[in-house]
Structures are given as C-alpha cells and as structure tokens.
Structure 1
C-alpha cells in the first residue's frame, strides 16, 4: 500500500482549497501530473467530531492493524454490535476514510490522517 495521507481541515478558509485547485490546474496545463491530494473539510470542530467519533477512530485503527476485512469481522475485532459498526463504516466511507476492495472487504487506504484545526479569526469590534 502506498503512503497516502488524508488531510482533515477544520475551519479552513475556502481560499486555501481554491489555491490547491488552481495549482493543480496549472500543473495540468503544463502537462505535469499534480500530486494526489486526499482531503475533507469541516466548518467547525463539532462537525468534525460528529463524523470522526472516538468509536470510529477505533475502527480506523483496527483496520490499519488488521488490514482488509469484512464488516462482520471488524465488529468482532472491536467487540461491537454489527449494525452499529456497519453504520459507522458507511459514514466513514462517505467521508473517504474507508474504502472497499474488489473482494468487498473494507480497509483504510491511509498511512496517516492529519487533522488541521484553524482557529476562528478575531473580529474587530
């Protein structure tokens, strides 16, 4: 597995995302292949924590340790109810943290997940 990094940005300015997109477009226009970027963004910490809960972080860690597996096996590994694990896996798939392989097994394709939290700008009175 290649060393892919998922970047979770919390409270980032939209301009930074647009800058990344512009740089990729410029590289493409020069015939260059831009480096892949894997990222998701959240407006605030509460929103991020509603997706990446403690139990979901445990699922990601178990997948990292055990490699591709079925949801049923993952539920056994983490000693949780299948239905709850299934729901958590579905949610993490929506946010790109878990994928399915050709055999239908789930895995996390990332060697790292970096959470970058930007504090809100101080508003002048």
Structure 2
C-alpha cells in the first residue's frame, strides 16, 4: 500500500508571492509547471498554533478509527465535544481534514498517512 503524504511548510508571505510570480511567468512562457500542493504557514508560531498535541491526536484518531461523527471522535479522545468540534473545524479550514455531513452528523476524514514538514532557512 502506498503511503499518502501531506506537505506542511513554513514560508513567509513574501516568499509565497515570489513563488507565485515565478510560476505565473513560467506558465506565460508556455513552460510546464510542477504541481505543488501542501499547507503552508507564515511562521513557526502559526504552525505550532495549528498543530497542537491535541490536534495531532485528533488527526491520528480520525485516520486510525474513522469515527462516524464528531461526537464519537470526542468520546474516543476523552475530550469535550465543543473543543473537538472547534479543533476539527480549524483543521478543515487549513486543509488538513475533510468534513462530511450525512444524516445530521458531521464526520471528519484524513486522506494521508504522514505529515512532512518543510522549513526554508
């Protein structure tokens, strides 16, 4: 089975814009551009805020047990549903979790096995 990975990086706004401009120029010249996907934060502090130990724990639980609802996830994590819901919605907002709604229940899914961290120096 192939391991699916998600890339997380820390990159300044200036660096991201510079990369965007280079990519746009390459496309304009008709060059093929390598598709790059991932989740990027503007600072180490923003990264730490996003991936707290509690949120990493939720990602593991979602990946391993695929809970049918956020209530089930909260029970498995031994955490309050309100806090779990806030954390999962934040993780969805930054692109690390997919949310699905069915029969008045919201469930979360993770489509990767590993998180790769990339920090420019």
TM bucket (normalised to shorter chain) is 0.7 to 0.9
In structure 1, the partner of 2:8 is: 8
Equivalent residues in 2 for 1:1-125 (5 A)? 3-11=3-11, 13-14=15-16, 15-16=18-19, 21=23, 25=27, 37-101=36-100, 103=102, 104-119=106-121
Shift in Å, 1:68: 4.8
Tell me if structure 2 keeps the 8 A contact 1:69–1:107.
no
Q: Judging changes above 3 Å, is the alpha-carbon distance between structure 1 residues 23 and 9 closer, same or farther for their aligned structure 2 residues?
A: farther
TM-score normalized with structure 1 length: 0.72
- Structure 1 unaligned runs (5+)? 120-125
Instruction: Give the aligned CA root-mean-square deviation in angstroms.
Output: 3.0
3-state SS of 2:38 partner: strand
Relative to the length of structure 2, the TM-score reads 0.74
The alpha-carbon deviation at position 23 of structure 1 amounts to 9.7
Q: 1:2 to 1:97 in 2, by over 3 A?
A: farther
Q: In 2 relative to 1, CA 105–55 (structure 1 residues): closer, same or farther, beyond 3 Å? A: same
Structure 2: stretches of 5+ with no match in the other structure: none
Q: CA separation of 1:22/1:72 partners in 2, compared to 1, >3 Å: closer, same or farther?
A: same
**1:80 CA displacement:** 0.4
Residues paired across the two proteins, number: 113
The 1:7/1:64 distance shift into structure 2, 3 A limit, reads: same
Instruction: Identify if the C-alpha distance between structure 1 residues 71 and 45 changes in structure 2 by more than 3 Å, giving closer, same or farther.
Output: same
Secondary structure in 2 matching 1:41: strand
